[in-house]
Amino acid sequence: MSHDTYPNSQIRRILGNTQTIAMVGASPKWNRPSYFAMKYLLEKGYQVVPINPGHAGETILGQRVYASLADVPGPVHMVDIFRNSEAAGAVVDEVIGLAKDKDIRTIWMQLGVRNDAAAARAEAAGLEVIMNRCPKIEFGRLNAELSWGGFDSKVITAKRRRLTAG
Amino acid sequence: MDDTSKRTGGYGFETRMIHAGSQPEPVTGARQTPIFQNTSYVFYDSDHAASLFNLQTFGFIYSRLTNPTVAVLEERLASLEGGRGATCCASGHAAQILTFFAFMEPGDAFIASNRLYGGSITQFGKTFKKFDWTCHFVDVDDPDAVRRALTPKCKAIFVESLANPGGVVSDLEALSAIAREAEIPLIVDNTLATPYLCQPIDWGADLVVHSTTKFLSGNGTSVGGAVVDSGRFDWSVSEKFSSLSAPEPAYHGLNFQETFGDMAFTTHAHAVGLRDLGPAMAPMNAFLTLLGTETLSLRMERHCENAQRVAEFLASHPKVAWVSYPGLKNDRYHELAQKYLPKGAGAVFTFGVAGGFEAGLKVVESVNLFSHLANVGDARSLILHPASTTHRQLSDEQRQAAGAGDEVLRLSIGLETAEDLIADLDQALTATA
């Protein structure tokens, strides 16, 4: 399958069916991109579990940090990878091994992160893969918030959006 | 999906000029974009305020940075130009300062066409010197001259797609190749062409600036400007662009390129540029400009059709020495116009009156339908003698280079009945005898 573009409907479905996101490479520093994304996704009602072996046992934005995905108790619907494209491969293999146990459905690689070989392995194992995108930006784009900053959301509709709580 | 449809979301130009950015307002269902005549926006709580000030969430703080009505125009212009994002501001001149401010430091330089709009030549050549920014003006028709003018301090190449008022068409593809080799952005002023006639980003432009005052608003009601970012320039390519790709001291050490990716420039232009320079666009002006964009394609078609007819009439008139309109077959920029402006060569052009300075002034004073004023891109036809007005601050040499010599008259052809415009110019030219 092509990973150059994703239909809005696919991104909407994934973001709508996900409750818990494990963020691999989450940083405790306030000015890092992962911190921005984690804070935003928490505000939008997602449960976000930070994964970072260097900070295991600490908390980021009030959420306990785990050393690895395998240590996370309970289900994880999406794994959001804040690592470089090469390192993403090993994370994907780990996810494939844990997917059934943890109810993992989606592997999401951040903006600038793309590993087609790893994506093919994940898809063969029944996982859905999004690459080179940010869930924060996509959530904002599809809910007209990105537009507030002057960006082209590429969403064109004459339908009135229903306001959601939060 | 090809590259173009990736950038346009698959919708045509006319659909986007009406719909891009303006979904129905969700609280009230209002269909037309509301005018948010409002300075400030309530925070949910102190954490929400902190998230907004840290740029960690999307939202409004203060209308100097962002405003909901202005944001609709920004998204619409970004969409029409096929860019990632846009930043609107108080005027076209403000857009130019905002653009260079993002990456220029004292001691830096850039290259610009020596046939830019006279106001831009004055801004770049005189006022920018106060920031210790140097502009090297070059004949951009000569690619070798552009290459020779490049110095290690040069951070950009700036041209107009269709120059005001000389009818000069820039070879954008050739210039973007030079900019790419030099690893600096190509900035294109697309004011006179509008995104309907020319798509600079398709030809390799990295940033596109506009005076929205002209054809985009279209009725001579609202002064405004915009800079559209293609999102394609990698600001981390060299240390030259460290304000966008290294920890930014004006933002607590935030690295804009790393944090915002292809949204870095537009985020920086709002969060640092508009924040600290302050030239915000008024929401009322954004609203009026949005109304203009809804009919852009229809107006530009008629503007071009009328301009072509008037230019052909003038070219055959005994009192006219020459006409500089790239829509004319024998014009030196005709070939470039067919490549870059296939739907029409615009509606602003110059001609020389036989009889020079005095004859030129006589025409300006004898016309009845043409308004004698300093603007272009209005529904009304306009006339101006650049040498005594807009290009007055330039030297004789600069005036000649800019196509604004003593005998030159500039026309901006409006949407009136073409025969009426031709008859009016004919009687005014006859009056010079």
Question: Tens of pLDDT along B176-232?
Answer: 999 999 999 999 999 999 999 999 999 999 999 999 999 999 999 999 999 999 999
Whether the Cβ atoms of residue B99 and residue B274 lie closer than 8 Å to each other: no
> In angstroms, rounded to a whole number, what is the distance separating the alpha carbons of residues A149 and B68?
9
User: What is the mean pLDDT of the segment spanning B1-24?
Assistant: 81
Instruction: Examine residue A85 and state whether it is found in any structural domain, yes or no.
Output: yes
Distance, in angstroms, between A150 CA and closest chain B CA?
A: 5
> B12-292 architecture in CATH?
3-Layer(aba) Sandwich (3.40)
> In angstroms, rounded to a whole number, what is the distance separating the alpha carbons of residues B291 and B286?
9
pLDDT of residue B177: 98
In B, which residues are within 8 Å of A34 by CB distance?
none
Nearest in space to B224 (alpha carbons), one of B166, B178, B292: B292
Select the residue from B23, B36, B73 to test the A interface by mutation, using most A Cβ atoms within 10 A. B23
In B, which residues are within 8 Å of A140 by CB distance?
58
Q: Does B5 touch chain A (CB under 8 A)?
A: no
> In angstroms, rounded to a whole number, what is the distance separating the alpha carbons of residues B358 and B406?
9
pLDDT of residue B1: 38
Q: Does B16 touch chain A (CB under 8 A)?
A: yes
Residue type, A12: R
Q: Tell me yes or no: is domain B296-430 CATH 3.90.1150.10.
A: yes
Whether the Cβ atoms of residue B406 and residue B355 lie closer than 8 Å to each other: no
Residues of chain A numbered 108-127 and touching chain B (CB < 8 Å): 111-112
pLDDT of B395 over the 90 cut: no
Name the residue in chain A with its Cα closest to that of B19.
A156
Q: Which residues contact A16 (CB under 8 A, 6 or more apart)?
A: none
- Ranges assigned E (strand) in B288-405: 320-324, 348-353, 371-372, 382-384
Instruction: Examine residue A90 and state whether it is found in any structural domain, yes or no.
Output: yes
pLDDT of residue B380: 97
Name the residue in chain A with its Cα closest to that of B87.
A150
Q: What CATH number did the domain enclosing A99 receive?
A: 3.40.50.720
Instruction: Express each pLDDT in B327-356 by its tens digit.
Output: 999 999 999 999 999 999 999 999 999 988
Distance, in angstroms, between A30 CA and closest chain B CA?
A: 9
Q: Does A42 touch chain B (CB under 8 A)?
A: no
Q: How confident is the model at residue B391 (pLDDT cuts 50, 70, 90)?
A: confident
Instruction: Examine residue A72 and state whether it is found in any structural domain, yes or no.
Output: yes
Domain hosting A136: range is 8-149
Domain parsing of chain B, residue ranges: 12-292, 296-430
> In angstroms, rounded to a whole number, what is the distance separating the alpha carbons of residues B195 and B81?
6
For chain A, which ranges sit under pLDDT 50? 165-166
In B, which residues are within 8 Å of A40 by CB distance?
51, 56-57
- Angle at alpha carbon of residue B307, lines to B306 and B313, rounded to 5°: 90
CB-CB under 8 Å, A112 with B79? no
Cα distances (angstroms) measured from residue A65 to each of A20, A36, B52, B66 = 14, 16, 25, 35
Top-confidence residue, B250 or B102: B102
Q: Does A161 touch chain B (CB under 8 A)?
A: yes
pLDDT of B45 over the 50 cut: yes
Distance, in angstroms, between B274 CA and closest chain A CA?
A: 12
- Tally the domains of chain A: 1
Whether the Cβ atoms of residue B377 and residue B415 lie closer than 8 Å to each other: no
In B, which residues are within 8 Å of A112 by CB distance?
261
The first and second tokens of residue A51, run together, are 């994964």
